Amino acid sequence: MMYLKKPLWSQGKPEPDAKTTTAADRGGAVEELVDSLQQQRVYREVTLALRTGLRDARAEFSFLRVRGLRNILKFLRSVAESDSTIDLFNRTQSIPQLQVVPVLFEHCLRETGDYENENRVRDLNHIFGVEPLKLTSPATDAEVALALRVLEGCCLLHPQSTALAHQHNAIPVLMNILSTRGVLEQGACLDALISLMVDSSSNQMDFEKCSGIMEVADLIRDKQVDENLRLKCGEFLLLLIGHVNGRDAPPLATIHEDTRHLLGEKSASLIWAASQFGSTLDPEQRLTALQIQARRVLESLDLLRSFVPRMLDYEGSPVWTNKSKALKAVVAVFAS
């Protein structure tokens, strides 16, 4: 009797080999194990870097705090390179011992008077006893600037950090820095203010209560202020007004009116128009456009402030009989 093989088309899909299936399953399990171990290793490195930096940032001496802040800032820059590490960093910020923002306000962004009160000898036990008195050195300019950069990075990478900062009265603290510190800290302060107020109504309300727009307007109008800081103020106004554009409800609902009152209608209109620069540009092009527009805003302010007195001196001249047209012509030059 002849035994013929069944045709291949009648057999359907061949059954997988048991050995092949087992090997594939083992390979998938090994890959999952490797990925899990890799993620655990990265998480340990993240937590170790944070613990080391925060330990130095809590130190009594400013040079140690500066070292810790530099390490944390370097760590944040490396974290920002991938979404996976950003996610790991966000997970660490739910652990109180690893939260960065509270350490900044408790140790690095304190007022000078707080250090003096802490270092004051309240009894004689430290003099006649054996327990030494712990002295905390006040924050230097470099320390404050670094702390503000770290605060900016934390708020941009971890949006919930803005709520933590609000619990430590972040806006009043930063407004005090903006009005009392040097150019280095003021520039970092303006960047940190923007990161604090993005999608944070509580911080925006605090900024409004502190008359923040008035403080920034005073800086940008003062020709004695460093030009780079005035440009930074222009960038701040462009970003802030562009962010709240079209808002009819508090907070910052009156920002356009406040800017018009402080800088004049022509300058306020130019700032509003310039704040609408293209959102379709890549980040590098947006930064370049922001710097160019800030320069034009600053030049328009300086030109108007120096040009209007001359127009008033020649009030009887037929050339300057219509001052509003002259002002519109000046603004049109910089708006083009």
Closest by CA position to 79, among listed 42, 52, 105: 42
Residue 173 CA to residue 206 CA, distance in Å, equals 11
Owner of token pair 């966000």:
90
Contact 296, 270 (CB under 8 A): yes
- Give 4's DSSP letter: P
Q: What is the pLDDT of residues 263-289, one digit of tens each?
A: 887 778 888 877 766 556 677 777 888
DSSP H helices in 6-111: 18-57, 62-79, 83-92, 100-103
Q: What is the pLDDT of residues 174-198, one digit of tens each?
A: 999 999 999 999 999 999 999 999 8
Domain boundaries of the chain, sorted by first residue: 39-115+136-210, 245-336
Q: What is the pLDDT of residues 98-151, one digit of tens each?
A: 999 999 999 999 876 554 555 455 555 555 555 555 667 889 999 999 999 999
Q: How far is CA 164 from the centre of its chain?
A: 14
Contact 162, 200 (CB under 8 A): yes
* Dihedral over alpha carbons 120, 125, 126, 129 (to 10 degrees): 170
Per CATH, the number for 39-115+136-210 is: 1.25.10.10
pLDDT-above-70 percentage for the chain: 70
Owner of token pair 């007022």:
111
Residue 132 CA to residue 129 CA, distance in Å, equals 8
Closest by CA position to 147, among listed 110, 199, 114: 110
Instruction: Give 322's pLDDT tier (boundaries 50, 70, 90).
Output: very low
Please give the model's pTM, rounded to 2 decimal places.
0.76
Q: What is the pLDDT of residues 65-98, one digit of tens each?
A: 999 999 999 999 999 998 989 999 999 999 999 9
